[in-house]
Structure 1
Amino acid sequence: MIRMRTAIATAAAIAVLPFTAACGGQDEVTTKPNPPAASKADKADAKPSKAAPAKPKAAKIGDTITIKGSEDGEQLDVTIKKWIDPAKGADEFFVPADGQRWVAAQFELVNTGTAVYADSPSNGAQVADSEGQRFGTTFADITAGPSMTSDAQVPPGEKALGYVVFEVPDGSKITSVQFAMNSGFADQTAQWSVS
């Protein structure tokens, strides 16, 4: 009797299979149940499983940031050694335009790569103010010290040091300085907080 029931059950299952396949039944098969939808109350009561990661610490004046250039072997350790706001022109001929002031960052660029760093460093520098406005560099000599060269040729293991000057509106509160290799076109950008 048991063998007969098993045979009937098997025959019934075999008869149903072609019908299920023909009707697309295999597409409807679910291997895992969907989790029940959470109600608004459940979502409100849910607590994160772990604490949110801490925001990365912003670099500040004196910190060194390592960045890579676009070509193989291009790498610099970049440090802003000093920040001057406002920066004063070296003589009466070097002055900012009316309604503007100069600010300056003393950059130290150490070639930690395997290729010669050949660029105009000021092309890859900019500052930003608290409103999000960004300002490029200007050519100026200041009393704080020598300007960064406009044609750096720095072999591996050597460094370049000098001021990069920016002309900004008198009322702008400068909050950050950025620097990137390859005249600013490299993928990596270093940023320091100055506020």
Structure 2
Amino acid sequence: MRHVASALLMSALAMGVTGCQSPFGGPAAGAPAAGEEARHGRVPRAASLDEKSGRGALWVGDAVDVDGRRFGEHLRVSVVGQVDPAVTADSVGSAASADTDVTAGTRRLAVDVAVVNTGGRPYDASRAGAWAVDEKGRRHRPVASAPLTTGRILKGNIIPAGEQAQGWLVFEVPEKTRIVRLQLALENRSLDWQLSFPPSR
């Protein structure tokens, strides 16, 4: 396993945040009260990063430590799963063959993200930004979604100290687009988890 490394904290690079916005800059329907979605869980080990540049090859299953701008702010962020296509639970068994909320000519995919607050104070995850990046370098923001067949959506902004928030970030992309990585925005850099979503056939 890789050794623990640190990176600078995520800054507010996403759009303005409201009470119904999910962590990492994506809107979420019916976001819960602070801490409602936080869950206890085993803290994953962090991946190695180049300490000067903050860069390294991160893959699904890898975690990275993130240090905040304020004293006592520490996170461990990991990507633990991916699914393509992403199917909402309420569409299963319906007459429609696909989700009715999906825009024509697009598909939805999702990435399962876990955020563990390893620090000593609550953390406001709305300060982060996330994008699915395609092979042409275009970035796609998370979209609002109902719970998926694979689990619930990542919701809530405030993660209490010692707690974990985990859920799916959903992205809507053109049908033939190949998504190659998940990018999390940091204060003056970014961290990229390599993904392997194939284009639709």
**TM surpasses 0.5:** yes
Deviations 1:164-195 (A, max 9, x none): 11111111100000124xxxx63353310002
Correspondence 1:56-67 to 2 at 5 A? 58-67=57-66
Tell me the number of residue pairs that the alignment of Structure 1 and Structure 2 aligns. Answer: 134
Is 1:153 the counterpart of 2:154? The answer is: no
Larger Rg computed on CA atoms: 1
Gaps of 5+ in 1: 1-55
Gaps of 5+ in 2: 1-54, 92-98, 197-201
Counterpart amino acid of 1:119? A
Deviations 1:29-62 (A, max 9, x none): xxxxxxxxxxxxxxxxxxxxxxxxxxx7511100
Correspondence 1:153-172 to 2 at 5 A? 153-172=158-177
**3-state SS of paired residue (1:105):** strand
Judged with a 3 Å threshold, the aligned counterparts in structure 2 of structure 1 residues 156 and 90 are, in CA distance, closer, same or farther, namely same
Correspondence 1:25-174 to 2 at 5 A? 58-92=57-91, 95-120=101-126, 124-141=129-146, 142-149=148-155, 151-174=156-179
**3-state SS of paired residue (2:89):** coil
Structure with greater contact order relative to length (CA < 8 Å, sep ≥ 6) = 2
CA distance in 2 between counterparts of 1:124 and 1:79 reads 14
Counterpart amino acid of 1:111? N
Judged with a 3 Å threshold, the aligned counterparts in structure 2 of structure 1 residues 124 and 143 are, in CA distance, closer, same or farther, namely same
Is 1:189 the counterpart of 2:194? The answer is: no
Instruction: Give the CA RMSD over aligned residues.
Output: 2.1
Percent sequence identity over matched residues?
33
**3-state SS of paired residue (2:85):** strand
- Normalised by the length of structure 1, the TM-score is 0.62
- Normalised by the length of structure 2, the TM-score is 0.60
Q: Which has the larger share of helix?
A: 1
